[in-house]
């Protein structure tokens, strides 16, 4: 992964567990900042009561946690 704003993300592979996320922000100076579910917004979430935010899309399309967690329709 390329450096973006002086940092890059190292995280788990896409999975269906909505309330589990493990990863790190890796900074060019060698520092690390852990990422867990408290720092993740899922598709359709709203963020309120804040003046600004930096955002980054980690997984898209069929790799999102919502899509991985969905099940196929049952045939009758």
Domain ranges of the chain: 7-69
| DSSP helix/strand/coil, 24 | strand
Contacts of 32 by beta carbon, 8 Å cutoff, 6+ apart = 24, 25, 26
Sign of the Cα torsion 30, 4, 12, 54 reads positive
pLDDT of residue 68: 66
Confidence bin at 4 (pLDDT 50/70/90): low
- E-strand ranges in the chain read 7-11, 23-27, 32-35
pLDDT (tens digit per residue) in 9-53: 888 888 877 788 888 888 888 899 898 888 888 777 888 898 988
């Amino acid at each position: 992964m390329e450096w973006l704003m002086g940092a890059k993300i190292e995280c788990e592979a896409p999975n269906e567990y909505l309330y589990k996320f493990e990863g790190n922000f890796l900074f060019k100076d060698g520092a690390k900042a852990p990422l867990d579910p408290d720092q993740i917004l899922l598709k359709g979430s709203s963020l309120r009561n804040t003046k600004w935010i930096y955002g980054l899309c980690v997984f898209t399309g069929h790799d999102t946690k919502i899509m991985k967690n969905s099940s196929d329709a049952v045939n009758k």
